[in-house]
């Protein structure tokens, strides 16, 4: 007989997960308008109050290149302030459980993070990134892979001394928007290299929506076979073909417990235009249509995981509300279906019922719960030719 228990079929699949939010950094970096500092503070606060404990705050790179993040220090100062800490205590949030992450692709940004840490407002964790496909890596960092690995090793030593954790990202695992097909074995090796030089954890990134569910399952199974500590691994998916929910499911089936997402599926390559002016960003866009660029949607991922009965620690309804507010902030319809349609309700939607059913059943002499005609057998008799 077929095994129907999902967790027996996939014994590594978790009953509890952690979902980090990266809206205010990765989500907003793609927007061609400046998102106000007030709005950024609002979403940082509300995401934390709704259950997020791992949150990306900003990018500490040169604001000349990415002016969306010219308010980086103000955001960190806000989250390190007594007022925010008091609000956390009032809402029952243990401030010490919150991890604030900043992106620091190059060493200058790492040094900036360390200076901010010394000032008392720095991040708990920062992130550097390698791509297994070197053209993509060069487009993002301006460095060769060997040059960057040495820089990352140097930066991790600095961070360890400063009390900052380093997340090492491995990108283009399932393919590159510039170089095309890639080899999963390279990403496994790069993961080991990050850990060898002292990274605290690894973000495994599909940066252009190249991943397919079978290859996602294969890759994360390979990772956990060789590096079984699930605390070390974070899944990061982009959505370009409406298949990332399948990738999330495959990742769960493989046994990964940590994910990232953005409200509304916002995000992608840093903008090279902001408000009324061209800006450097990371150069020419490597996509044709911005409507089909973004990350895994937090609202939809959360509903998917919640309805599987997996613990996640979020107030789902609050996140759905935040998703609707985000559409007003951005000024367009975003990619979440759950923010619009809500969750699957066990009690249904009685307001949509057609009137008259009760009276008709009474008129026909049917019991209120009767679903089959009087006189039919208690169970269906399946014709022999259809039996197993």
pLDDT of residue 1: 85
3-state secondary structure (DSSP) of residue 110: helix
Helix (H) or strand (E) holding 249: helix 244-254
Instruction: With a cut of 90, say whether residue 347 has pLDDT above it.
Output: no
Instruction: With a cut of 90, say whether residue 3 has pLDDT above it.
Output: yes
pLDDT of residue 210: 87
Q: pLDDT digits over 172-197, tens only?
A: 999 998 999 999 999 999 999 999 99
pLDDT of residue 287: 82
Residues in CB range of 61: below 8 A, 6 or more apart = 69, 103, 104, 105, 106, 108, 109
- For residues 128 and 35, state if they share a domain: yes
54-59 and 125-131 beta bridge pairing: unpaired
Instruction: With a cut of 90, say whether residue 282 has pLDDT above it.
Output: no
pLDDT of residue 283: 86
pLDDT-derived band at 54, boundaries 50, 70, 90:
very high
- For residues 89 and 58, state if they share a domain: yes
pLDDT of residue 177: 87
Tokens in use for 245? 């929910």
Please report whether residue 5 resides in a domain. Answer: no
Among residues 190, 155, 160, 156, which one has the least CA distance to residue 172? 190
Q: pLDDT digits over 5-20, tens only?
A: 999 999 999 999 999 9
What is the CATH classification number for the domain harbouring 68? 3.20.20.70
Please report whether residue 378 resides in a domain. Answer: yes
3-state secondary structure (DSSP) of residue 314: coil
pLDDT-derived band at 386, boundaries 50, 70, 90:
very high
Q: What is the DSSP letter of 354?
A: P
User: What's the rounded Cα separation, in Å, for the pair 29 and 10?
Assistant: 36
User: What's the rounded Cα separation, in Å, for the pair 240 and 175?
Assistant: 13
User: What's the rounded Cα separation, in Å, for the pair 61 and 105?
Assistant: 7
Tokens in use for 64? 């000349």
Q: What is the pTM of this model?
A: 0.94
pLDDT of residue 345: 83
- For residues 376 and 316, state if they share a domain: no
- For residues 201 and 280, state if they share a domain: yes
Number of domains in the chain: 2
pLDDT of residue 242: 85
Instruction: With a cut of 90, say whether residue 32 has pLDDT above it.
Output: yes
Please report whether residue 174 resides in a domain. Answer: yes
Q: pLDDT digits over 109-165, tens only?
A: 999 999 999 999 999 999 999 999 999 999 889 999 999 999 999 999 999 999 999
Instruction: With a cut of 90, say whether residue 285 has pLDDT above it.
Output: no
- For residues 145 and 103, state if they share a domain: yes
User: What's the rounded Cα separation, in Å, for the pair 123 and 129?
Assistant: 17
Please report whether residue 346 resides in a domain. Answer: no
- For residues 238 and 374, state if they share a domain: no
3-state secondary structure (DSSP) of residue 19: strand
pLDDT of residue 56: 98
Please report whether residue 3 resides in a domain. Answer: no
Instruction: With a cut of 90, say whether residue 35 has pLDDT above it.
Output: yes
pLDDT-derived band at 37, boundaries 50, 70, 90:
very high
Please report whether residue 377 resides in a domain. Answer: yes
Please report whether residue 169 resides in a domain. Answer: yes
- For residues 264 and 377, state if they share a domain: no
- For residues 360 and 309, state if they share a domain: no
- For residues 40 and 84, state if they share a domain: yes
- For residues 365 and 312, state if they share a domain: no
- For residues 374 and 226, state if they share a domain: no
Please report whether residue 348 resides in a domain. Answer: no
- For residues 232 and 377, state if they share a domain: no
| CA-to-CA separations, 376 to 369, 380, 386, in angstroms, rounded | 15, 8, 20
User: What's the rounded Cα separation, in Å, for the pair 152 and 143?
Assistant: 11
Residues in CB range of 201: below 8 A, 6 or more apart = 165, 167, 168, 231, 232, 233, 234, 258
Q: Which residues constitute the domain of residue 358?
A: 354-386
350 burial (CB, 10 Å; 0-12 / 13-18 / 19+) is: exposed
Instruction: With a cut of 90, say whether residue 100 has pLDDT above it.
Output: yes
What's the rounded mean pLDDT across residues 297-318?
97
């Amino acid at each position: 007989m077929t095994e129907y228990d999902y967790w027996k079929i996939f014994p590594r699949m978790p009953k509890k997960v952690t979902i980090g939010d990266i809206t205010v950094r990765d989500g907003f970096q793609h927007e061609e308008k400046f998102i106000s500092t007030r709005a950024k503070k609002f979403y940082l606060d509300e995401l934390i109050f709704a259950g997020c404990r791992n949150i990306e705050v900003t990018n500490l790179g040169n604001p000349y290149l990415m002016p969306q993040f010219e308010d980086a220090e103000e955001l960190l100062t806000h989250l390190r302030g007594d007022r925010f800490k008091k609000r956390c205590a009032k809402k029952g949030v243990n401030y010490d459980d919150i991890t604030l992450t900043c992106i620091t692709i190059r060493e200058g940004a790492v040094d900036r993070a360390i200076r901010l840490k010394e000032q008392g407002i720095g991040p708990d964790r920062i992130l550097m990134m390698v791509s297994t496909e070197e053209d993509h890596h060069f487009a993002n960092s301006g460095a060769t892979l060997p040059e960057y690995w040495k820089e990352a090793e140097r930066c991790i030593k600095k961070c360890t001394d400063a009390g900052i954790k380093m997340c090492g990202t491995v990108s283009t695992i399932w393919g590159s928007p510039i170089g095309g097909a890639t080899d999963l074995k390279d990403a496994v090796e790069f993961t080991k290299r990050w850990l060898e030089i002292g990274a605290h954890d690894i973000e495994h990134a599909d940066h252009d929506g190249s991943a397919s569910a079978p290859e996602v399952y294969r890759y994360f199974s390979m990772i956990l076979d060789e590096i079984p500590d699930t605390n070390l691994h974070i899944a990061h998916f982009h959505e370009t073909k409406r298949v990332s929910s399948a990738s999330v499911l495959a990742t769960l089936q493989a046994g990964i417990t940590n994910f990232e997402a953005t409200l509304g599926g916002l995000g992608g390559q840093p903008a090279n235009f902001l408000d009324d002016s061209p800006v450097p960003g990371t150069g020419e866009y490597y996509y044709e249509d911005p409507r089909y660029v973004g990350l895994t949607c937090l609202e939809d991922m959360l509903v998917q995981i919640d309805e599987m009965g997996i613990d996640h620690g979020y107030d789902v309804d609050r996140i759905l509300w935040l998703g609707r507010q985000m559409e007003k902030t951005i000024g367009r319809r975003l990619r979440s279906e759950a923010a619009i349609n809500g969750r699957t309700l066990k009690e249904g939607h009685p307001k949509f019922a057609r009137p008259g059913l009760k009276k008709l059943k009474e008129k026909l002499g049917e019991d209120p719960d009767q679903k089959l005609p009087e006189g039919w057998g208690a169970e269906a008799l399946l014709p022999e030719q259809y039996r197993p």
